[in-house]
Structure 1
Amino acid sequence: MRRIVKWIGARLQRKTMAALTAMMILPLAILGTFIYLYSYWTIERDYINNSKKYLNQVSQNIEHNIKSLEMISILAFMDEDVINVLRMDRSGNSENTPYKQNIMGSFLTKLKELRNDVNGIYIFSGSNVYYKSKQDETIDSDYDYKNDFWYKETVNLKGATYVIGTHIPFQKKHSNYYVYSIARSIIDYQTGNHLGVILIDALLDGISNMAEVEKVFDGSWLVITDNQGKIIFSPDRKEITKSLELSRNDFLNDVSGYFFTKEKEEELLVNYVTSEYTGWKMLQFIPSETVYNASRTIGLALILLAGLLIFLSVLISFYVSIKISKPIIDINSILQRIGEGNFDWDLKIKGNDEVSQLMLGIKKMSIRLKALLKRVTTARLKQKEAELKFLQSQINPHFLHNTLNSIQMMAIINGQVDMAHMIDDLGKFYKSGIFQGNDMVKIREEVDHVRLYLKILQMRYGDKLKWTININEVIMELYTAKFILQPIVENAIYHGIEPNLYPGEIRIEGKLKDDCVEICIEDSGVGISEDKLEGILLSLSGEKQLDTQMNSIGIKNVNDRIKLYFGNRYGLSIFSQKGKGTRVLIKIPVLHRPVPLANKYFF
């Protein structure tokens, strides 16, 4: 290494070429590394996002499939003849007469024809079992369905749907195929009595077809499990009904996500989502090699491109180093000749830069020296002595050194000016970025925003909507996170005032209490039932996942943001009574000036 450094340092051209090459290669290396890492990250994210889209599509298809089965089961509630047969079985007339068989058989046949993948439909009345299955298979005569877990669970649900994962048909224990099922109690709509249970078995072919609609990535496969990790569907039918065995199972409690794992000596990317309707997990297993191959291709292309750019940079550096160093080498050669007493040289001077001016000065100096030497002919010793003194007085090493430094500094200065412009532009860019929007606003701005919103809605609702805002001016000048009032007001109007038959009113009041600001938004709408209010409050406290059918996503979003920004001490409180309106209390800190928020992803 020392020899290489010494060899480079021996010539100005080599130094210039090495410096220029380093200046070109180093940014290329940094840029290439960044591009490779960013490309790898982008490819990985694309794989994960496309996989998640596929899994969500499969989940939606399965939900639609199960909801279709649920709609079929509802038909049992709507058929008067079926209800009458079940009433007879319940009243003690449990004899399985031809009349009953005719009614139930005809009904079940019609239901079964609605879906090709339905394997069997069964109605358990407590005393009789009515069924229709593929190829008219018979059920086990000794099957004690009343003590089976699914029957008990279905009865306890009192008419709600019970989704059952993959299993061998309960009433055909010796079958060699798997089904998934839904079950629900049949309730007498007149008396509310439990009349029986309808069970619908569907073949796994439907799920298999949905899973194969679009694999997204070659070599990947889909596995579906219940919330306990029991396999509902797998390409390997031997694994069905077994527990999913991976090196990590902590993801079972998560709604969605991904992780890398090594199973059976194979690196895998596992992406998963959870169905909100069934609770089933859709997992896609993608070989990591599939992801890495795309990254390797980009890496190879970057290496080839980097090699080409390095080769070009060396050529450019070589050319530029010659253009820079050749005039200086010529000057050095001329000075050596002058030092040897040779003043007869001819060099064409091109340009008007510093180097050209230096060469012109040396040429004039050389001419003067030559003229002076001609005049000094008295004695050889005096002539040589005068020549030496003349050279010492005219060819000043400090002058040459400072002149060369001036050339170098000019290059540096030119470089710094460009850099200054870049920094100035960047500074302007960041400056403009900072003022594109604030996450903290005055409460007055929030109130003005809500007032405008209410005025717009009043144009729609007319006299049906009245509103008042009564907030102290002191509070108006305080700061808070933006967009915390409008979602609450919107919820009050669309779910409180609009469903009501009578005109309604929105009242917004604010006050200081202790060291907090309390803003109350109250409506005179239809109110919230106790069950629904309890669910909303549990979701706000984090004890329960929010039911998306409750129309409370805006409220939860505001509550989560306030707690995230200001702490768990602050947030929303909700008070409501069915038919008498709702009151939402917003508790926030007293802020006399804007402060940085803990998280900005909500805006």
Structure 2
Amino acid sequence: MFFKQKWMRLFDYLKVKHKLLGIYLIVTAIPILLVGAYLNYSTRDIVLNNSLNEAKANVDKLELRLQTIFNRVTDIADMVYINQNLKELLEHDYGSTLDMYNAYNQYPIFDDFLKYYDEVETIQFFMNKDMITDSHMIYADGMVKNQSWYKEAIAKEGRLSWVYMENYWTRKKMLALTRSVYGQSHDLLGVLVIYVSPDMLRSVVEGEPYQALITLDRSTIIYNTSNKQIGEEASFFEQEEQPFGNYVIDSEFGGEHVKVNVHHFQPDKSLDNTFQVSTVIPVDDVMKEPNAVYAKGFFVIVGALTISLGLIGIFIRSFHKRIQQLRKTMYQVAKGNFQINEQVRGHDEISDVYRDLMTTSKSVQKIIDEVYIHKIKEETWRRKQKEMDFKMLASQINPHFLYNTLEMIRMKAVLNKDPEVAKLVKMLSKMMRSALERTDRPIPITEEITLIHNYLDIQKMRFGDKFYYQFEIEDSVKDYYIFPLLIQPIVENAIIHGLEPKEDSGFIQLTIEEEDHYIQIEVKDNGVGIKRDTLVEIRERLDDQEYLSDGNSIGLHNVHQRLQLYYGERFGVAIDSIVGLGTTMTLRIPKIKQGEA
């Protein structure tokens, strides 16, 4: 409901031509464009989904082929792991190098595997025992043992581990299955490494319509039909782990926007490693033909909308011109010019309104003369009256005469050795100078506080021990400005009407605090208080603009009216009082700094 009202208010501020144009765009142009865009994106989605479904079917086939290859490699690893001849070969103590060489020749199992299994590129066994090194049997020296794949195989204690590593002899990187092998007494014999043939991986993905990748553990690309980025990190995988099966990733790959159809699976007996077969579908290439169809349709729609927009524009221009003529004529009437000579073109509702305006123009002029002009004069008189109330105080006494007289009295008191009188005259002089030299412009709030301080010091000397006062002023308010003589009349009012009639001792507490959006000034006394009926009368009188204050003092009414005159109706004076306990008068003023007034 709130947003509806907000939009309705915004609509009301628009010109008629903008409203008509907006209605046309909302009702006609935008729906046509939205329908066209919907049909285009629907077509794009259909084409893209067909490509993804085709890729999914292909990826399922690739996964079955890879499973066959990995299962055969796993079977070879199992056969080597349980082969007793290998364990006897590695555990036997040989008397000479010749005996060791003959033992190697009696163990041709690795060559048999390479002969009958095309899935295997080569097999290497890294022996923990220092024996003769050949193409298959390699002594695991310190450099080998420091390799990460070797440490991982040892840590898994016979479990299978798939890694992408270098061939010990050729230094070419390829996919390999590693497994640590143990003897009869569970002593480590070495680490078996079976390298998967890259030709077999190539045969799996050969002939695919899109670029196909095989990755290990969602990280390393172990094969790519484009022969690029093999061995690098697959950047398109998301951070979150995905479940096994098919899913699609929307990403960037090779500098292109692509859809990646991923089949995530785990080979048999592999507990820690997973493989991903991915088909990379370049979105721009797939969408080339649908985009061409969309472009042609878009130009047809834009052409039709352009023609209709031109026709509606001609109508709106003619309509707006007549509305503007009526508006200008009404503006002349509002400005006081009631001599209407032109006639608006047409014979519709606009021309009828124009003729009605001519009929009522004389009545409007009479109303303006009697009400509007009189109201302006009355308001001007009130503003001048309020300014005169403030100027009356400052003009009652000739400042130079007053300063000279007070200084003469102070000097006589000093000569007569009466320091108390001299101090009193000095404070009075400072206070009167501060008050009389001010203009009705904002001053630092510290100057107003100094004026009140001098005033209360004089009252302190007047009442003696029967009077004391207290200031509680936050440091943050000292940076703000205030119009002069707003607080002092309140303090004076508290002493005259609150403390003077009181027989016991009295106090005045001045508190100035900074709130979120304003400054609060509180003057509190423990005087005789104000009766409830009188308090109600005073509150009503504060807001009575017709009330004329006494010319001999500024008074609460003048302070309240000045606050609202300068700061607005949200600010002013508030009074609370309890008979016998005292009165609290609160002023609220806005936060104004130098240069903001």
| TM class by smaller structure | 0.3 to 0.5
Q: Which has the larger radius of gyration?
A: 2
Give the TM-score normalised by structure 2: 0.38
What TM-score results when the alignment is normalised by the length of structure 1?
Answer: 0.38
